[in-house]
Copies of this chain bind each other. A is one copy, B any other.
Amino acid sequence: MIIDIHGHLVAPPQMYEYQAKLFARRSPFKGPSLSDDLLRSKLADHLNVLTSGGIDVQFISPRPYTMMHSLFGTGVVNVWTRYVNDIIQRQCGLFPEHFRGVAGLPQFRVTDLAPVVAELERCVLELGFVGCLLNPDPCEADGTPQPGLGDGYWYPLYEKLCELDVPAMIHSASCSSPRESYSLHFINEESIAVIGLLQSRVFEDFPELKIVVAHGGGAIPYQLGRFRARNLKTGGEDFTDRLRKLHFDTVLYSSEALELLFRVVGPGNCLFGTERPGTGAVVDPRTGQSLDDLKPVIDALDILTDEDRRQVYETNAKRLYRRAFA
């Protein structure tokens, strides 16, 4: 079985019409009902892309850059996040053999986490979701100082993740900086998140916590040496070992990067992800294949054994996301 743990919702325009009106009105109101037929019609292309890429099951979450984590207050973000999560649950219900739900969380800046924890619990216990996204930068790069992921601010969420036994995927949302696109900001936030977690007591305080870092871990597997140097100087655990407290997806659109990831963190800590259809949905003229068609790329890497590939494609995901195939 080929499991893609990093996919996002493909939604009809009526959903974004509702979002545009939330942006415009800046206060919460109830979203429109969308029919099964409308949802189903939008999913045909999505399912074709998965089938053509050999993907049996994809985990889908909200498109992160649309999550509005820094705008308009808790009221808007709560109503919007619940609405999107409910659509994801409907899509999973329409195609239960192909999709599992991953929750967006209604993070609003660094305010009270209680609504965030409550929505996680609702999604897992009521909607049958298997994990969530976690945005390490809910201020969306607007310059507000924020606590790192090692800070106690996040502990109520970590407690709930452990209690529910679901992983969180590190994935930032939009970006207000004039110097960074949201796409580049994802990468920088993943680096900040990895270091924030591994240079803190989080995994000592929550040994059962399961964290997946999107896009192959930002810069850190590539920049590993400088963090090894720091830990060797301060007497900490070897950073190469410490890095294996985390898991990483394979949303890296080059074979050189995938090879580095597998060599540095090991196939036991990597989970197949493509984000199809998303950032990499474009044909590479050098290969004639879509850049996000990653299974042939991973199949061709001679550093992996068949057993390594089985871990990456299937068994790591089943081990981490225990609720996905229960």
Interface residues of A, Cβ cutoff 8 Å to B: 136, 142-148, 177-181, 183-184, 187-188, 191-192, 195-196, 215-216, 218-219, 221-226, 228-230, 232-233, 252-254, 256-257, 259-260, 263-264, 279-285, 291-292
Contact = CB atoms under 8 A, between A and B. Distances in A.
A225 B281 CA distance: 11
Contacts of A282: 229, 232-233
A125 to B, nearest CB: 32
B145 A178 contact: yes
Given A232-B282, A282-B233, A257 B179 contact: no
A257 B259 CA distance: 10
A291 B257 contact: no
Q: How many copies of this chain does one complex carry?
A: 2
A181 B222 CA distance: 17
29 contacts: A143-B144, A145-B178, A180-B192, A183-B226, A184-B192, A188-B188, A218-B219, A222-B222, A223-B252, A223-B257, A224-B256, A224-B257, A225-B252, A225-B254, A225-B257, A226-B253, A226-B280, A228-B291, A229-B253, A229-B280, A229-B292, A232-B283, A232-B291, A233-B282, A256-B263, A256-B264, A257-B260, A259-B260, A260-B260
Contacts of A226: 183, 187, 215, 253, 279-280
Contacts of A183: 226, 230
Contact of A223 (B147, B187, B195, B281): B187
A110 to B, nearest CB: 11
Contacts of A146: 178-179
Contacts of A181: 195
A204 B118 CA distance: 52
